[in-house]
Amino acid sequence: GEDVEQSLFLSVREGDSSVINCTYTDSSSTYLYWYKQEPGAGLQLLTYIFSNMDMKQDQRLTVLLNKKDKHLSLRIADTQTGDSAIYFCAEADSGGYQKVTFGTGTKLQVIP
Amino acid sequence: DVKVTQSSRYLVKRTGEKVFLECVQDMDHENMFWYRQDPGLGLRLIYFSYDVKMKEKGDIPEGYSVSREKKERFSLILESASTNQTSMYLCASSSENHSYEQYFGPGTRLTVT
């Protein structure tokens, strides 16, 4: 089946840029997503990219997609302590019912 | 704004009890999902539903069942709770008419003792 891989942990200093990486195996992915989960809460959609795009920017967030290498990244500029959370990469394939496969999540720690 | 609500934030049940987790969405979404989240394992799909009274097994359906009698409501049932079902349970919904992004409820932290 489909697989989505992420590193488990990332630590950055406040004000630096954070880059969270993700690789996936499904070559028929249609949409790829980044979700944020704060402690004790559900997942919140941050942004998504359609598979025929290679970049999307939304304020401090930049998503880069390398479809050939099946690699997705999320860059957070000027990282703040409020960005500390778990970030999930996810992909939707072209099959039925819009099932989404999630990665294991990357815990971002921002050091003041 | 899409709103997905779950009936309880925290729940403590005993082994062998029947447990009902309820999820309601207010955006007329066709698709609804139940996941469990465990440290280091990410989100694993238990069941999903693409229409009223329709259901499909996800990756880990054993020990669970679901019910969708109305479009806005999707229930997860633990027929006989066991300690290995202690977890965070997340409900989500999505529309057929958009980029399929899923909207999540706040989660139910279930502890089975």
The pLDDT tens digits of the residues spanning B70-101 come to 999 999 999 999 999 999 999 999 987 767 78
- Percent share of chain B, pLDDT over 70: 97
pLDDT of residue A52: 84
Cβ-based burial of B23 (10 A; exposed 0-12, middle 13-18, buried ≥19): buried
Nearest to A48 among B56, B101, B104 (CB): B101
Enter the tokens of residue B48: 């999903």
Mean pLDDT of chain A: 91
Distances (CA, A) of B102 to A86, A106, A108, A109: 17, 19, 22, 25
Quick: pLDDT tens for B25-53.
999 999 999 999 998 888 999 999 999 99
Sign, Cα dihedral of B38, B39, B40, B42: positive
Q: Three-state DSSP class for B105?
A: coil
- Percent share of chain A, pLDDT over 90: 70
What are the E-state strand segments in A25-84? 29-37, 43-50, 55-58, 61-66, 71-76
Contact A88 B40 (CB under 8 A): no
Nearest to B31 among A1, A88, A98 (CB): A98
Q: Which among A72, A54, A86, A51 has a CA at the least distance from the CA of A5? A: A72
Quick: pLDDT tens for A43-98.
999 999 988 889 999 999 999 999 999 999 999 999 999 999 999 999 987 665 56
Sign, Cα dihedral of A31, A26, A109, A60: negative
Q: Three-state DSSP class for B24?
A: strand
pLDDT of residue A93: 75
CA distance B98 to chain A (A): 10
Under 8 Å CB pairs connecting chains A and B tally to 56
